[in-house]
Amino acid sequence: MLQQLGNGVSVTGCGSAKLTNHLDNHMLSKIVDTSDEWIATRTGIRQRHIAGEDDCLKTLAAEAAQEAITMAGLAPIDIDLIILATSTPDDLFGSACQVQAELGAATAVAFDLTAACSGFVFAMVTAAQFIRTGVYQNVVVIGADLLSRWTDWSDRRTCVLFGDGAGAVVMQASERDRLLGFELRSDGALNDCLKLTYQSQFKELADDAAVQHGTFQPITMNGREVYKFAVKRVPEVIEKALFRAGLATNDIDWLLLHQANQRILDAVAERLHIPSERVVSNMAHHGNTSAASIPIALDEVVRAGKVKVGDTIAASGFGAGLTWGAAIFEWG
Which residues does the annotation mark as catalytic?
A: 117, 258, 288
223 near ligand UT7 (CB under 6 A): yes
For 91-119, give one letter per residue: b (16+ CB within 10 A) or e: eeebbbbbbbebbebeebebebbbbbbbb
Count of chain residues binding ligand UT7 (CB under 6 A): 20
224 near ligand UT7 (CB under 6 A): yes
Residue with smaller CB distance to ligand UT7, 105 or 194: 194
Using DSSP's 3-state secondary structure scheme, residue 208 falls into coil
117 near ligand UT7 (CB under 6 A): yes
Binder to ligand UT7 among 170, 219, 226, 272 (CB under 6 A)? 226
Nearest alpha carbon to residue 85 among 330, 323, 332: 323
Sign of CA dihedral 105, 107, 112, 118: negative
Least gap, CB of 33 to ligand UT7 (angstroms): 7
Residue with smaller CB distance to ligand UT7, 39 or 96: 39
Calpha distance 208→115 (Å, rounded): 38
Calpha distance 274→268 (Å, rounded): 8
227 near ligand UT7 (CB under 6 A): yes
Q: Using CB under 6 A, which of the segments 93-101, 129-137, 222-230, 307-315 binds ligand UT7?
A: 222-230
Q: How many helices (H) and strands (E) does the chain have?
A: 10, 17
* Alpha-helix residue ranges (DSSP H) falling in 15-146: 25-28, 36-43, 57-71, 96-103, 119-132
Nearest alpha carbon to residue 278 among 287, 290, 270: 270
43 near ligand UT7 (CB under 6 A): yes
Least gap, CB of 226 to ligand UT7 (angstroms): 4
Binder to ligand UT7 among 22, 38, 56, 149 (CB under 6 A)? 38
185 near ligand UT7 (CB under 6 A): no
Residue with smaller CB distance to ligand UT7, 230 or 237: 230
Residue with smaller CB distance to ligand UT7, 103 or 234: 234
For 178-212, give one letter per residue: b (16+ CB within 10 A) or e: bbbbbbbbeeeebeebbbbeeeeeeeeeeeeeeee
Instruction: Report in angstroms the alpha-carbon separations of 317 from 115, 152, 171, 293.
Output: 10, 23, 18, 9
Calpha distance 168→61 (Å, rounded): 8
Calpha distance 214→197 (Å, rounded): 10
**x/- contact string, 279-308, with ligand UT7 (CB under 6 A)?**
---------x--------------------
**x/- contact string, 60-99, with ligand UT7 (CB under 6 A)?**
----------------------------------------
Binder to ligand UT7 among 22, 149, 156, 285 (CB under 6 A)? 156
42 near ligand UT7 (CB under 6 A): yes
Binding site for ligand UT7 (CB under 6 A): 34, 38-39, 42-43, 117, 156-157, 160, 194, 223-224, 226-227, 230, 260-261, 264, 288, 319
